[in-house]
Amino acid sequence: MERGFEYVIVGGGVAAGYAALEFTKRGVSHAQLCIISEETVAPYERPTLSKKFLHPESPARLPSFHTCVGANEELLTPTWYEGHGIELVLGTRVESVDVGQKTLLTASGETIRYETLIIATGAKALKLEDFGVKGSEAENVCYLRDLADADRLVNVMQSCTGGNAVVIGGGYIAMECAASLVTNKINVTMVFPEAHCMPRLFTPKIASYYEDYYQSKGVEFIRGTILSSFEFDSNGKVTAVNLRDGSQIPADMVVVGIGIRPNTSLFEGQLTMEKGGIKVNGKLQTSNDSVYAVGDVAVFPVDLCGRIRRLEHVDSARKTAKHVAAVIMEPDKTGEFEYLPLFYSKAFSFSWRFYGDNAGEVVHFGDYLGTKFGAYWINNGHLVGSFLEGGTEDEFEAIANATQLKPAVDDLAEVGRQGLNFAMTG
Ligand code: FDA
Ligand code: NAD
């Protein structure tokens, strides 16, 4: 079987949902746009999976968190796609793409032709096996990338109340899942190789604030080591985690969050790759004129940082997706993608945001014994990054605006003394 569409999006995650909404706003006609997704449900807000989806009471369930509710926009249920004449091909993996012929082949044996292709394949979770450790298939070892993983995690969690969980990793998934496990009355030990949690972003001072709080909730931290193997019972269930330092931790369940790898394999050898992703220009166009890339998989120029970057965060997935629809539907009216990176997280009652680039020297400010504090990153004499915990909407907006402006900073100590006022009054 063979059919064709003007526009095809491969991948049906966050970026696909936001692109679809923007395509309709810019007048896409019925039967022009097709989205092909390996997942069996319409695009949804992936961040919900490590937060409200894991709540013990009134957890979030579909359809409540389909895109684009995360940005306070319309809830795009499967009926919405139908009503807008968008072909949503679910539960179907794209097996190969020929960018020369402008065709792709799905796992169901269908060939689909396109005029313009948007790559929104996101990323997959790295497995323990990628680091030489066996055991990912055990029934009580959980990863968290998609809805199927989240359903599984909930089931395992519910069978472990009062028991022990070992969380492998110290990044976003580990921190958010550890908080959810505690809320579900499970004892948590976190194990990671670095000296503190969230090493890609947090300074030791910021990390120690959150680690102290997690410890007050009973979480144990084992830093500077990694697991070497698991102990299994006769049913193949993990019963303990062996660490490289020789110690052993009993485990009723294990959650693994050790990073991701972008899903680029369909395009290796066909498109220019860089930094592990698909390289695009300011119009989000790849090295092939008819192919664009957005979301976790795209490596794009970020002026504020003065370099190309691949970002693994929902805000950039949403905004690159909206921009690509504008570029394709209204090329003459649409400029280059200009972006201020935004990362955020919520866990327990914490809520922080980071804007910009975490390069250069850091100045901390605010009350690190209280609930509102932050940091500025100053690079080559200019503010390039801002972090704030516990801010109001106005305060978050102020640090975003200040970072965008990149003001000159001569006296770091003075900026530290002014703290949030530096952004609010600047
Ligand atoms: P995304 O992964 O959303 O979608 C890719 C889609 O493509 C998937 O549906 C996949 O199945 C499909 N696909 C891949 N290959 C395919 C193929 N060959 N054929 C067909 N389909 C294929 N960020 C943030 O800023 N704040 C937050 O709080 C969180 N929280 C969070 C929690 C959890 C649990 C995760 C896993 C991630 C986050 N993130 C986040 C990150 C954020 O969710 C992520 O950056 C976006 O989902 C990226 O959107 P994409 O559309 O690029 O990929
Ligand atoms: P991450 O990159 O945030 O953290 C990976 C962590 O794995 C590292 O910090 C390190 O501590 C640890 N690690 C690496 N190798 C290890 C090993 N061999 N053994 C033990 N630990 C090891 O990735 P993640 O936490 O897995 O998150 C996956 C993706 O989901 C990322 O793209 C992330 O941005 C996204 N996500 C984002 C948010 C958010 O923005 N709030 C929330 C959840 C997930």
| 250 CA → ligand 2 middle, Å | 23
Kindly report the number of other CB atoms within 10 A of residue 422's CB atom: 22
pTM of the model: 0.98
69-78 pLDDT, tens digit each: 999 999 999 9
Q: Which ligand is nearest to the CA of 129?
A: 2
Q: Characterize the bridge pairing of strands 373-379 and 361-366.
A: antiparallel
ipTM of this predicted structure: 0.99
Yes or no: say if 251 and 165 are a contact pair by the CB < 8 Å rule: yes
β-bridge partners, 308: 301
- Nearest-CA residue for ligand 2 atom 34 is 312
Q: What is the pLDDT of residue 425?
A: 87
Distances from the Cα of 138 to the Cα of 9, 118, 229, 232, 254, angstroms: 34, 36, 12, 9, 10
Yes or no: say if 250 and 164 are a contact pair by the CB < 8 Å rule: yes
| 47 CA → ligand 1 middle, Å | 9
CA neighbours closer than 13 Å in the CB half-sphere of residue 7: 27
β-bridge partners, 277: 274
Is residue 295 lining ligand 1, measured as CB closer than 6 Å? yes
- Cα 300 vs. chain centroid, distance in angstroms? 16
Q: How far apart are CA 260 and CA 264, in angstroms?
A: 12
| Cβ burial 215-230 (10 Å sphere, 16+ → b, else e) | eeeebebbeeebbebb
pLDDT digit of tens for each residue in the chain (426 aa)?
Answer: 789 999 999 999 999 999 999 999 999 999 999 999 999 999 999 999 999 999 999 999 999 999 999 999 999 999 999 999 999 999 999 999 999 999 999 999 999 999 999 999 999 999 999 999 999 999 999 999 999 999 999 999 999 999 999 999 999 999 999 999 999 999 999 999 999 999 999 999 999 999 999 999 999 999 999 999 999 999 999 999 999 989 999 999 999 999 999 999 999 999 999 999 999 999 999 999 999 999 999 999 999 999 999 999 999 999 999 999 999 999 999 999 999 999 999 999 999 999 999 999 999 999 999 999 999 999 999 999 999 999 999 999 999 999 999 999 999 999 999 999 999 987
Q: Which ligand is nearest to the CA of 48?
A: 1
Is residue 45 lining ligand 1, measured as CB closer than 6 Å? no
Q: What φ, ψ does residue 228 adopt, rounded to 5°?
A: -110, -30
Pocket probe for ligand 1: among 14, 255, 344, the residue whose CB has the most ligand atoms within 8 Å is 14
| 123 CA → ligand 1 middle, Å | 6
- Nearest-CA residue for ligand 2 atom 2 is 259
| 315 CA → ligand 1 middle, Å | 11
Q: How far apart are CA 179 and CA 323, in angstroms?
A: 34
| Cβ burial 257-287 (10 Å sphere, 16+ → b, else e) | bbebebbbebbeebbebeeebbbbeebbbbe
Q: How far apart are CA 383 and CA 159, in angstroms?
A: 48
Yes or no: say if 279 and 261 are a contact pair by the CB < 8 Å rule: no
Q: What is the DSSP string of 210-265?
A: HHHHHHHTT-EEEES--EEEEEE-TTS-EEEEEETTS-EEE-SEEEE---EEE--G
Atom of ligand 2 nearest to the CA of 200: 9
Q: What is the pLDDT of residue 373?
A: 98
| 10 CA → ligand 1 middle, Å | 13
Pocket of ligand 2 (CB under 6 A): 50, 131, 168-174, 176, 192-194, 199-200, 226, 257-260, 312-313, 343, 345
Mapping DSSP onto H, E and C, the string for 184-223 reads CCCEEEEEECCCCCCCCCCCHHHHHHHHHHHHHCCCEEEE
Q: How far apart are CA 117 and CA 37, in angstroms?
A: 14
| 75 CA → ligand 2 middle, Å | 28
Q: What is the pLDDT of residue 357?
A: 97
Yes or no: say if 410 and 372 are a contact pair by the CB < 8 Å rule: no
Residue 208: exposure state from Cβ atoms within 10 A (0-12, 13-18, ≥19): middle
- Total residue length of the chain: 426
| 314 CA → ligand 1 middle, Å | 8
Q: What is the pLDDT of residue 354?
A: 98
Q: What is the pLDDT of residue 1?
A: 79
